[in-house]
Amino acid sequence: MNTEIQIEQRRVNPLKFMLWLLIVSIIMMFAAFTSAYIVRREEGNWLEFDLPSILIINTLVLVLSSIFMQWAYVSAKKDNLKNLKLALALTIVAGVAFLIGQWQGWVELVKNNVFFGGSTANPSGSFLYVLTGVHAFHLVTGLVFLIIVVISALKYKVHSRNLNRIELCTIYWHFLGALWIYLYVFLVLNH
């Protein structure tokens, strides 16, 4: 009997395992993008331009959203459903604000004649659009996941005895925040 309990404790939740596989694949993809960025930059024909100023604000917004997400997780562990719902709502608002900020950054790039692809584009601009755009896509998937968790919370399915959904969402959301900080620092140092 004791052996069965030990085996059960060592099992990894299959959804958590899938999430970690997804995170590893995203890390590999962005490692490839940033490596390609460095290699292509060294080949020449690289347009230097200022990064959109909104990117630093977006970084702060995403850090704030991670704080809200952690608050939601802690609230669920403590069965504080009021704070859980508020923190999840604030996380969604911050996530949407980040996406709006990304859009504003792209508008600023266009105003500065930095385009994606085509004959008028420079590889440096295209890389910036790809790095920020692919991250934004993953943030949208995080928002979808968040909405699912909010719906579950509204149905009282997220609480101290049922943390799986919010734990997975918290891991993914924190990962997206860390990934963005990496991208931002990478762009500042390599731009």
Domains within the chain, CATH numbers bracketed? 2-190 (1.20.120.80)
pLDDT (0 to 100) of residue 46: 85
Measured distance CA(69)–CA(64) in Å, rounded: 9
pLDDT (0 to 100) of residue 13: 87
pLDDT (0 to 100) of residue 162: 85
- Which own/partner contact pairs does 145-148 have at CB distance under 8 Å and 24+ positions apart? 145/169, 145/172, 145/173, 146/88, 146/91, 146/92, 146/95, 146/173, 147/92
- Per-10-residue mean pLDDT of the chain, 191 residues long, equals 58 90 97 95 86 96 98 96 96 98 96 80 89 97 96 90 93 98 95 77
pTM to 2 decimal places: 0.91
pLDDT (0 to 100) of residue 5: 54
Q: Which amino acid is at 140?
A: V
pLDDT (0 to 100) of residue 3: 58
- The SS3 call for residue 162 is strand
